[in-house]
Amino acid sequence: MEERDFEKIERSAAARRRLKSAVTYLLLALWALMVLFPFYWMILSSVKSYSAYNSEYIPAFITLSPTLQNYFDAFTAVPLGRYFLNTALFTLLTTGIMLVVVIPAAYAFARLEFKGKNAVFALFLSLMMIPNELVIITNFVTITDLGLRNSFPGLILPSVMSVFYIYLLKENFEQVPDELYKAAKVDGTSDFGYLVKVMLPICRPTVVTIIILKVIECWNSYVWPRLITDDSAYFLVSNGIQEIRENGFGRENIPAMMAAVVVISVPLIILFLVFHRKIMEGVSRGGTKG
């Protein structure tokens, strides 16, 4: 009797385990499909020819005659290449200036002693809570008044600062042992030399994380560029895609539109696939979105 009871428990436990794991995988696969399907659809649509796409009343899940014509159109019919260059330049400059501003500030907070340090740092921290929407109005007016609309300085300057990155970097800088600083001082290194030769190499992972996060932010930024540019010569990809949607290829050339979407998405996806561990780690430490 006892024996049979045991067998029953064992059997049902094993069955439950199997069922549970099957359901888990099914659920996870379902969500993976949900995530990946839009990507598949955009690539699929981008290689269908214009006529093929528009003749499909019922959309086809595969295409037998893929074409790259749409990609050609995307670069010729609208200035996609220009949007691309603009975005690359914007991303590069914004990230570069951000580093020049953020690193010394984090270093000052982490390593240097000066009057009012704590008060200033508290002020910085409290600025972290200020939503962008609140300051963007005045920035818009300021940049307009300065005559910087439709210019790179106008695009870049208000996008540079991220108080959070100062905080992140400062925390990391503080973990570098004091002894190194003292040793460097004894060896006759200046503060700046110490920052460049010792601190930055040690804290490289955090610096890389910050760079990646900022690059993602810049590449996808939409609101500020939209407010500050109405000359398509200064459009970034997000505005470009919106422009294409509103009056690009004519509303119906969906395949060309999708080709543009693929082209815009690819750089970040490649960046992600290469650095996915680093990016995910960085975001879980400090990114926010949504």
Partner 1 sequence: MKGKNLKSWLYLLPAVIFLACFMVYPLVDVVVYSLEEGYNSASQTYTGVGIYNFSYVLRDPYFLQAVKNTLILVVITVPLSTGLALLISVGLSSIKKLRELFQTVYFLPYVTNTLAVGLVFMILFKKTAYTDGLVNLMISWFGGQGVDFIDGPYWAKMFVLCFYTLWIVMPFKILILTSALASVNKNYYDAAKLDAATPWRIFTRITLPMISPSVFYLIITGFIGAFKAYSDAVALFGVNLNAAGMNTIVGYVYDMLYGNSGGYPSYASAAALILFAIVFTITCINLTVSRDHVYY
Partner 2 sequence: MKVVLKNLTKIFPNRNKKIHSDVIAVSDFDFEIPDGKLIGLLGPSGCGKSTVLNLISGLETPTKGRILFGDDDVTDLPPENRGVGLVFQNYALYPHMTVRQNIMFPLQNLKGDKKPSKEEMERRVLEAAKLVQIDHLMDRKPSEMSGGQQQRVAIARALVKMPAVLLLDEPLSNLDARLRLQTREELRRIQRETGITTIFVTHDQEEAMSISDMIVVMETGVMQQMGAPQTVYDDPVNLFVAKFLGTPPINVFAGEVKGETLYLGGTAVLSVPGAPDGAVTVGVRPEGFILDETGPFEGALSRVEVMGRDTSVIFTHPQCVSGDIRAIISAENRVDESKPAVRFSLKPHKTHLFAADTGERVRFKDR
Q: Which spans of this chain sit near partner 2 (rule: CB under 8 A)?
A: 2-3, 6, 9-10, 13-14
Please state, in angstroms and rounded to a whole number, the distance separating the CA atoms of residues 154 and 140.
9
The residue range among 29-37, 69-77, 176-184, 202-210 that interacts with partner 1, by the rule CB under 8 A, is: 29-37
Q: What Cα–Cα distance (Å) separates residue 188 from each residue in 109, 112, 194?
A: 22, 17, 10
- Contact pick of 50, 75, 152, 272 for partner 1 (by CB under 8 A): 272
141 vs 233, beta carbon nearer partner 1: 141
Question: Residue 163 has which token pair?
Answer: 């108080």
71 vs 107, beta carbon nearer partner 1: 107
Binding mask 160-199 for partner 1 (x = CB under 8 A): xx-x--x------------------------x--------
Rule CB under 8 A: say whether 21 interacts with partner 1: yes
Please state the closest distance from residue 8 (CB atom) to partner 2, in A: 11
First CA to last CA across the chain, in angstroms?
A: 58
8 Å CB contact between 44 and 62 = yes
How many of the chain's residues bind partner 1 (CB under 8 A)?
91
Tell me, what amino acid is at 177?
Answer: P
**Within 52-71, which residues bind partner 1 (CB under 8 A)?**
54, 56-59
The residue range among 1-9, 63-71, 114-122, 172-180 that interacts with partner 1, by the rule CB under 8 A, is: 114-122
Given partner 1, partner 2, none, residue 6, with its beta carbon under 5 to 8 Å by kind, binds partner 2
9 vs 27, beta carbon nearer partner 2: 9
- Residue 150 backbone phi and psi in degrees, to 5: 55, 50
Give the dihedral sign, CA 269/275/277/283.
negative
Please state the closest distance from residue 20 (CB atom) to partner 2, in A: 12
Rule CB under 8 A: say whether 265 interacts with partner 1: yes
Given partner 2, partner 1, none, residue 177, with its beta carbon under 5 to 8 Å by kind, binds none
CA-wise closest residue to 40 among 244, 265, 267, 274: 265
Rule CB under 8 A: say whether 108 interacts with partner 1: yes
Please state, in angstroms and rounded to a whole number, the distance separating the CA atoms of residues 191 and 3.
76
Rule CB under 8 A: say whether 134 interacts with partner 1: yes
Rule CB under 8 A: say whether 85 interacts with partner 1: no
Given partner 1, partner 2, none, residue 189, with its beta carbon under 5 to 8 Å by kind, binds none
Rule CB under 8 A: say whether 229 interacts with partner 1: no
Long-range contacts of 187-195 (CB under 8 A, 24+ apart): 191/111, 191/112, 194/111, 195/103, 195/104, 195/107, 195/111
The single-letter DSSP state of residue 198 is I
9 vs 19, beta carbon nearer partner 2: 9
Plot region of 147 (φ>0 → left; ψ -120 to 50 → alpha; else → beta): left
8 Å CB contact between 101 and 161 = yes
For residue 31, what are the contacts with CB-CB under 8 A and spacing of at least 6?
Answer: none
Please state the closest distance from residue 162 (CB atom) to partner 1, in A: 10
For the chain, the maximum distance between any two Cα atoms, rounded to a whole number of angstroms, is 90
Please state the closest distance from residue 2 (CB atom) to partner 2, in A: 6
Rule CB under 8 A: say whether 288 interacts with partner 1: yes
8 Å CB contact between 236 and 86 = yes
Please state, in angstroms and rounded to a whole number, the distance separating the CA atoms of residues 10 and 3.
11
